[in-house]
Amino acid sequence: MSNANASKFAVPASEHDDNEVPFSVLGPIYADKDELTAKGTRFDIVSITEEQGAFGPRWVVSIDREDCDGDELITMGKNERRDQEMQNALTYLAKHKTIPNVRLRKIGKAYVFTTAE
């Protein structure tokens, strides 16, 4: 970058605060699935959508947990069994707005949602 262009991006010293973070987090926050399973963290499912991910179609589940500010996302690849479970969850969400008291478990290599007891 030339010096002529540098001034377009520079923050004047009078506007700079050493205590402020110079950037913000843009985009969604993804939950750490391994952390959720290891800690047995309880959460509520607030929405479920389908999307085309970088590696193929997937489910995107938005969760709300008490120990975290704001919603986080969990993504899972689509397959026949999971698709049926997600369709059932979508039906439930349409009536009740959230699915409360859920935990994520890992069985073999697969992650599954279970009701927390």
Average pLDDT, the chain: 84
Question: Could you read off the pLDDT of 2-17 as tens digits, one per residue?
Answer: 444 444 444 444 455 5
- Mean pLDDT of all residues in 87-112: 96
Question: Could you read off the pLDDT of 21-42 as tens digits, one per residue?
Answer: 555 556 779 999 999 999 999 9
pTM for this entry: 0.76
The pLDDT score that the predictor gives to residue 8 is 41
Report DSSP letters for the chain, one per residue.
--HHHHHHHPPPGGG--TTS-SS---S--B--HHHHHHHT--EEEEEEEEEEETTEEEEEEEEE-TTSSS-EEEEEE--HHHHHHHHHHHHHHHHHS-EEEEEEEEETTEEEEEE--
